[in-house]
């Protein structure tokens, strides 16, 4: 199980437990709500939605809307999930998890600025340290995605700005490596080396060879061939970046 999936599951069950302690719900609605939660946990998403709809007939409660949002997102019905989470925070603007839900929907639909806005609200409102860290990680990923969009559009300075914002929020290895790459495109080789070193010091899911490759490129363009070769050789054993490193060595 990945760290991200584990965090999401912990947040889901934490939210269920927290909501279960809240008594402000019509008894009949609460019955349907709890049945819906059980169906959701069992993977019966359509059944869960049916129970939540029954609950809403007698109680327009934010908790029901939140669980509907979670269920719709699992079905990848993002418009419906967005509407449910919006209604959740409308009913209770002080419920942090509603903003986290909205952030997730916007991220999944590539609306990264809206995702960041809602993740920031979640991070600010939550009193749970692990939730705050999860929000920061998600903000960093959204900024990284914005950086890649800008790079694809040829705006390298804007891409670098977004990648820098990502690593200011969370030491995200992919953002550091992307920052090293875009600094090379901008001929900012010392900055590229620093970004690659930061990636090496904060590796999580990215291969070490990715940072070594871009560090090697930066040294190559600086005319420091021995240091370039040293980094390319260190990255040769990687499946993805090894061929790139080998190519650079063969042409030097």
Note the pLDDT tens digit of each residue in 126-144.
999 999 999 999 999 999 9
CA distance 74 to 80: 11
Q: Is the pLDDT of residue 66 over 60?
A: yes
Note the pLDDT tens digit of each residue in 94-118.
999 999 999 999 999 999 999 999 9
CA distances from 26 to 19, 33, 66, 175 (A): 14, 10, 17, 47
Q: What pLDDT sits at residue 11? A: 54
The predicted model scores a pTM of 0.88
Q: Is the pLDDT of residue 2 over 90?
A: no
Note the pLDDT tens digit of each residue in 226-240.
999 999 999 999 988
From 3.40.640.10, 1.25.40.10, 3.40.50.300, 1.10.10.10, which CATH number describes the 171-252 domain?
A: 1.25.40.10
């Amino acid at each position: 199980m990945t760290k991200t999936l584990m965090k999401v599951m912990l947040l889901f069950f934490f939210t269920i437990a927290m909501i279960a302690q809240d008594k402000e719900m019509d008894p009949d609605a609460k019955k349907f709500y709890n049945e819906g939660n059980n169906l959701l946990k069992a993977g019966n998403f359509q059944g869960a939605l049916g129970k939540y709809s029954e609950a809403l007939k007698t109680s327009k409660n934010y908790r029901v809307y939140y669980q509907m949002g979670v269920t719709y997102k699992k079905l990848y019905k993002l418009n419906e999930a967005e509407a449910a989470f919006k209604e959740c925070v409308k009913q209770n603007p002080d419920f942090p998890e509603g903003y986290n839900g909205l952030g997730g929907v916007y991220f999944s639909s590539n609306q990264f600025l809206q995702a960041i806005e809602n993740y920031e609200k979640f991070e600010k409102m939550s009193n749970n340290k692990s939730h705050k860290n999860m929000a920061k990680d998600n903000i960093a990923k959204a900024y990284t995605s914005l950086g890649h969009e800008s790079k694809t559009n040829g705006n390298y300075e804007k891409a670098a700005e977004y990648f820098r914002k990502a690593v200011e929020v969370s030491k995200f290895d992919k953002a550091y490596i992307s920052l090293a790459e875009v600094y090379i495109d901008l001929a900012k080789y010392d900055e590229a080396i620093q970004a690659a070193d930061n990636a090496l010091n904060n590796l999580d899911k990215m291969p070490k060879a990715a940072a070594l490759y871009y560090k090697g490129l930066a040294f190559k363009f600086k005319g420091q061939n021995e240091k370039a070769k040293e980094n390319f050789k260190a990255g040769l054993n990687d499946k993805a970046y090894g061929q790139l490193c080998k190519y650079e060595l063969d042409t030097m």
